[in-house]
Structure 1
Amino acid sequence: MASTILSSGVRNNLLTLQQTTAQQNVIQNRLATGKKVNSAIDNPVNYFTALSLNDRSSQLTGLLDGISNGIQTIQTASKGIDGITKLVGSLQSTVKQAQADAAQNRPTKAGTALATATEAAVTSKSLKDIALDKKIGGADATADAATATSPGDVGIDTTTNVKGAIFLKSGSTTYTASFDVANATMRDVVNEINKSGVATAFIDEKGQLNVKGTGSEEVQFGFGVGTDDTTSQAAAAGAGNANAKIGFATADNVAGTGIKGQSITSAVRSNLIQQYNDLRTQIDQLAKDSSFNGINLLQGDRLSIQFNEKTGKNQTKLDIQGSTLSADNLGISQAINTQLNGFINFQNDADLDKATAALTGALTSLKSLASTLGSNLSVAQTRQDFTKELANVLTTGAGNLVLADPNEEGASLLALNTRQQLSQTALSLANQADQGVLRLFG
């Protein structure tokens, strides 16, 4: 088939029209896809750069789920610590209730009477007042009875003994105090004992000195005299060389034979033992339940949160080693009703004091662990926000390289449409010029 020969004017106008149509197709494709670079042919540098940026953004977005799970795992452990802290607080309340019920087995002892009915008849005073007013020392080592004009004394020779001292010991607590015996009375001895915090003292209606421990531990009590503070205190702490002068035995100052409590059990404290042990058990159970997605930071599990898409030494992550949290590890011992190593005897004040100290230590440990988890949580949340923002920046950067501007492309398409119409008009005019030769044959 023979080709059609076009005039120069028609061919030029046709070529222009074809170029305009091609440009329209390109712009229409940009508007349809929203991109000005749809393949490497359009712009290889921008295309592959945008592809790399989008790939990294996608990888970082994929890591957000792992970061979110890590955050939830830390928060679960933190909530577990909050719950355990409340349980420890309840244990403290239980111990305080036990301490509020003063044990009935306080070690108590009454000495022999320091006053007689004869003295009461002579002085017209009660046996209690006579005993309180009696002086510690006199001119010899013989006890002098009270008279209408003299308070009497318990028989400490003040010519050889200048100082008197008391010694008290309960558990690990020791108290020693000395005083001048020349003018001191039994009232002064009672007052010194009451200052100790280890025991209390009073003289009863029979004229007997009573010493009672402030706790349930055995109390060693000694009364000594000497030429100075040192010798009197040594006597009180050693043999208690003047115990008999105030109605006590020398053995009362010896460990194992001192003033002991009776074996009477407090019912209130016994009833609190089960409550205490139940709360203690709940600590272990709550710690075991503080897991998320199979990871429990309160049972020694390890959590690893990955923050970037790299591997090997270029990978950034947060490793959190959990702790095995239990009542035993917190130093909270089980409670029982008797004295046994490794347990808390709820009938013993000293054991209750130790339990209070242990619970305070447990709270300190929990606060430290909570602080560590809080710090790790802050890091994870910061990296989560950073990863979200970085992924957005990468996506935006990729878009800037390949996305089309709808306003610009629309304006270009409108201009091309106008150009197309003009090209079509020019082509028509060129054809009309070629048709002019037909008039020669008219």
Structure 2
Amino acid sequence: MSGINLTASVRANLSSLQDVASLQTTTAAHLSTGKKVSSALDNPVNFFTAASLDSRQTQLGGLLDGISNGIQTIQAANKGLTSMTSLVQQLQSTAKQARQDTTGTVTPGTSLATTGSNTSNTAGAALNFTVGSQSVSISTVSVATSATATTLQGASGTFGQAAAAQAATIQSGTGTAVTITGLNASNTVDQQIAAINSSLSGAGSTISAANVGNQIKLTDSSGADVTVAGTGAGALGFGTGLTNSTNGIKVGETTALTTDQLVTAISSNGLLAGKVTATNNGGNLSLANTTTSSIAVTGINGTTLDGASGTTSTLAAGTAALSATRQSLANQFNSLVSQLDKLSTDSGFNGVNLLQGDHLKVQFNEKTGTASNSLDVSLKKSDNTDFGVLNSFNLGIGQAATTTSGSGIDFKSNSAIDTLSDTLTTAISTIQTQSSSLGANLSVVQTRQDFTKQIIDVLKTGSGNLTDADMNEEAANSQALSTRQSIGISALSLANTANQGILQLLR
């Protein structure tokens, strides 16, 4: 009050106590709020800088929720891909079981029959079969690999007049004629042969004689024609009316195979076994297809077997019956395909399903426009275009045809199942490729999640450094101020002692 006069010492102590009280109020506020800068009045620069940092970390905190949802969406899709791989592997197993089942029957297609014997006699003549992706060639000719041979036809062991007085010669196209001596009508075939070989050997000829079926066979190892000449039908000891044949076969010369030889060659071929049957039908070749796919054949022109590469015929496909085992496996296959598609539709998270062609955009920073940083996640083809829905249709896996379903994969056909197995292998590769791509995206998003958390921590620390109070320091300040307050009160009491002495005098 203005009417009261305080001594200088009392007023000084009172002022000190007021300062302590003010400091105690500030310290108490710091201790209660944990902030040394609570408003722009405390420190404008620190306050607004911290507010900016707090605003950014709040925005990044909101983005963390979106990043977390993105991670779960990618993981849900990846789990779906893993399960789809398992289902496709089960489909592969089902197809393999069906392929191994042989209880089904195949009725051969319309047979392809010739109306004459083999007319091909040129080098390279062949029957060529195209079975699926494989080609099989069966030669329709035999190629001589031995030297020229000439068989002297005559009654077994029978010789006519004595040949000693006759001039018999043997020659080949590469040598001179050799006169044969020592022939005798009383000789056996082997004795005649011995006489012939003696003369040929003595002349250094490459020709030799052998006994084949009690007939004389002449062979020239050089491959040249063998010619027999003499002054009459009794040359080389054969009597009148007997023939000396000079129709030899040279090395490399071709001869058309007989029908039986062709049947044996076709039936013994490992690639044609169980696919093509060959039979001798009255001297004519008959072919039939025992698979469920048509087989192209070159070398048969209509009903004529000529071995020419430019003549093509078709062995009609056989008709297969679906066995009970394959019927059951086909039903199982269809059930797995259905589950594959359902699994794809159930692989979403929070309304986003990457396996159904959806796009996921994960935002990484709080900025917009060109400064925005985000990641677009979706299934992609090799050309980086959208894959679309990952289901059995886009993987090329169709339903199996059953007795109640006329269209689809023909489980009666081994070749169709083989093609299906290749398709399933490709499908697994496609799923694994998509899984790898999603895994790479997941790694990026998880890295950005960790980075964002670290940035938020940095922002919080930076903001705290600017505005947060040091609680240890403030506690010490509070204790010190309490002490100062106590001392100030004591000093004020001492300052009032002099006034109390005057009061005693007045009493």
TM-score category, normalised to shorter length: 0.7 to 0.9
1:139 equivalent in structure 2:
none
Name the SS of the counterpart of 1:35 in structure 2. coil
* TM-score normalized by the length of structure 1: 0.72
Name the SS of the counterpart of 2:496 in structure 1. helix
2:200 equivalent in structure 1:
none
Change (3 A) 1:207 1:76: farther
**Residue 104 in structure 1 maps to residue 66 in structure 2:** no
Q: Report matched runs for 1:122-271 at 5 Å.
A: 165-176=126-137, 181-182=143-144, 190=264, 194=268, 197-199=271-273, 215-220=291-296, 235=307, 237-238=309-310, 254-255=313-314, 258=315, 261=318, 263-271=320-328
1:336 equivalent in structure 2:
401
CA distance in 1 between partners of 2:98 and 2:449 (Å)? 49
1:371 equivalent in structure 2:
436
CA distance in 2 between partners of 1:426 and 1:262 (Å)? 121
2:333 equivalent in structure 1:
276
1:8 equivalent in structure 2:
8
CA distance in 2 between partners of 1:397 and 1:418 (Å)? 34
1:431 equivalent in structure 2:
496
CA distance in 1 between partners of 2:495 and 2:452 (Å)? 63
Deviations, residues 49-96 of structure 1 (Å, cap 9, x unaligned): 222222222222122222222211111111112222222111111111
- CA displacement at 1:168 relative to structure 2: 2.2
Contact 1:163-1:181 within 8 A present in 2 as well: no
Change (3 A) 1:198 1:238: farther
2:209 equivalent in structure 1:
none
2:94 equivalent in structure 1:
94
- CA displacement at 1:187 relative to structure 2: 8.2
CA distance in 2 between partners of 1:168 and 1:203 (Å)? 13
Name the SS of the counterpart of 1:168 in structure 2. strand
Name the SS of the counterpart of 1:368 in structure 2. helix
Deviations, residues 231-265 of structure 1 (Å, cap 9, x unaligned): xx9926455xxxxxxxxxxxxx721xx37535544
Contact 1:108-1:211 within 8 A present in 2 as well: no
Rg larger for: 2
Change (3 A) 1:99 1:207: farther
Q: Which amino acid aligns with 1:409?
A: E
Structure with the bigger percentage of helix: 1
CA distance in 2 between partners of 1:31 and 1:291 (Å)? 50
Kindly report the root-mean-square deviation, in angstroms, between the aligned alpha carbons of the 2 structures. 3.9
CA distance in 1 between partners of 2:4 and 2:340 (Å)? 98
Change (3 A) 1:439 1:328: closer
CA distance in 2 between partners of 1:276 and 1:395 (Å)? 58
Number of residues paired by the alignment? 376
- CA displacement at 1:215 relative to structure 2: 4.8
Contact 1:106-1:214 within 8 A present in 2 as well: yes
2:85 equivalent in structure 1:
85
Q: Which amino acid aligns with 2:100?
A: A
**Identity rate of aligned residues, in percent?**
43
Q: Which amino acid aligns with 2:14?
A: L
Q: Which amino acid aligns with 1:91?
A: L
* TM-score normalized by the length of structure 2: 0.64
CA distance in 2 between partners of 1:234 and 1:371 (Å)? 57
- CA displacement at 1:324 relative to structure 2: 1.0
Q: Report matched runs for 1:353-368 at 5 Å.
A: 353-368=418-433
